[in-house]
């Protein structure tokens, strides 16, 4: 999990929404090919980030999906997609209890 995600999780807002999630939210999961760093390097589109988010969830990598959602929210602040991804990720993560 990215350091920026851990900082966001420690904020009061995210603590309210993350409370009750299973396991440790700081568990890092390796992603070898389509990392956030790679997508930044190739100047990926919002669609690429959303695709990676969906694949992360299909692969059960909820914390990586959270990294992506937070990055999208930070990078595309005026676009509501970041908030939607974050809300969906949190709801899905709570189902894994």
Joined together, the tokens standing for residue 78 give 């005026």
Residues 6+ apart with CB under 8 A from 29: 1, 61, 63, 64
State if pTM tops 0.85: no
**CB-based burial label for 48 (10 Å; 0-12, 13-18, 19+):** middle
Question: Residue 24 pLDDT > 80, yes or no?
Answer: no
Which comes out higher in pLDDT, residue 71 or 20? Answer: 71
35-90 confidence digits (pLDDT tens): 788 888 888 889 988 988 988 887 788 888 999 999 998 888 888 998 899 999 99
């Amino acid at each position: 999990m990215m350091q920026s995600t851990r900082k966001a999780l420690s904020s009061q807002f995210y603590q309210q929404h993350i409370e009750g999630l299973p396991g440790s939210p700081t568990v890092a999961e390796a992603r070898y090919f389509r990392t956030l760093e790679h997508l930044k390097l190739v100047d990926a589109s919002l669609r690429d980030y959303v695709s990676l988010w969906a694949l992360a969830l299909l692969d059960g990598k909820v914390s990586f999906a959270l990294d992506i959602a937070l990055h999208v929210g930070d990078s595309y602040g005026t676009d509501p997609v970041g908030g939607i991804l974050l809300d969906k990720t949190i709801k899905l993560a709570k189902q894994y209890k």
